[in-house]
A = this chain, B = another copy of it.
Amino acid sequence: MLSKNKIKFINALKKKKSRNEKGCFIAEGSKTVADLLASGMQARLICSTGGWMQSHSAFSQANIIEHIEITGKDMQKISSLKTPQEVLGVFVIPEYREKEEKLIRQISLVLDRIHDPGNLGTIIRIADWFGIQNVICSADTVDAFNPKTVQATMGSLASVNIFYRDLPELMKKFSGRSGFNIYGCFLEGENLYTAPLGNRGFIIMGSESHGISSYLMPFINRHLAIPSFSEGYATGAESLNVSVATGIVCSEFRRRKATADHHSK
């Protein structure tokens, strides 16, 4: 039985402001909830129907503060989905810690004005796949704990640190440091496949419609572009989806690193 207070609490979390105030976010659906639990995320509340919990008993109960078996009717009252699933979880937003001395020794992703929640979630999943530990978002990038983003991350929220920062301030701190590069991805620039790529720096990805903000340009010392091989009608595809472009760029950075590590052995 779900109390009125709990229903109110869960529905409030659909808004970013409430998520920040309460330090919690919602995840829906068996796969998403199971992935988050498996990744060690702290669940404040799990609401399930039809015995979902019993059939997923492998999860450490220590990570679940409260579990309530509810009716399908109650699920409808709290779900954001057109077709409510058998489980909804309220998770604690992790406290990601930014360690400056770590950032300076790694490649991190920097996202400028990514507004589509699905794209942000897909990018967090890419970062996880390629072992990129930090994703730093501009203040006006969509919230990583938006239900649609959470769904697209497929559990990678636990493996990747996500920060929201004033990007020009961050750039000022890091630009010009020895061996540290600030890469930007553009439609025109150095060929990604042949440009020198290092193991320490920021890779800035801009929004599909507006590109990288002009106030970030002075900090970028390497302009990268994914070559097009289009033979289409005029100039062919105008651009790639931002999450696809991020995947291709991260893949090329890691391929080079793997090749360099192999040769240095």
A30: shortest Cβ distance to chain B, in Å? 12
Q: Are A129 and B243 in contact (CB under 8 A)?
A: no
Q: Are A231 and B40 in contact (CB under 8 A)?
A: no
Q: How far is the CA of A44 from the CA of B87 in the complex (A)?
A: 46
Does A22 belong to the interface (CB within 8 Å)? no
A155: shortest Cβ distance to chain B, in Å? 7
Which of A171-179, A212-220, A251-259 lines the interface with chain B? A251-259
Q: Which of B152, B193, B241 lies in contact with A122, CB distance below 8 A?
A: B241
List residues of A (128-162) whose CB comes within 8 Å of B's CBs.
128-131, 133, 152, 154-156, 158-160
Q: Are B259 and A193 in contact (CB under 8 A)?
A: yes
Interface string of A220-237 (1 = CB under 8 A from B): 000000111111111011
Q: Are B230 and A254 in contact (CB under 8 A)?
A: no
Does A39 belong to the interface (CB within 8 Å)? yes
Q: How far is the CA of A72 from the CA of B177 in the complex (A)?
A: 55
Q: Return the 7 tightest CB-CB contacts between A and B, nearest first.
A: A159-B232, A131-B229, A244-B247, A128-B237, A129-B237, A248-B251, A193-B255
Some 24 contacts from A to B, beta carbons below 8 A apart, are A39-B232, A39-B234, A40-B233, A122-B244, A129-B230, A129-B237, A129-B239, A130-B230, A131-B231, A131-B236, A154-B237, A155-B237, A155-B238, A156-B232, A156-B236, A158-B232, A159-B231, A159-B232, A160-B232, A193-B258, A241-B247, A243-B243, A244-B247, A245-B247
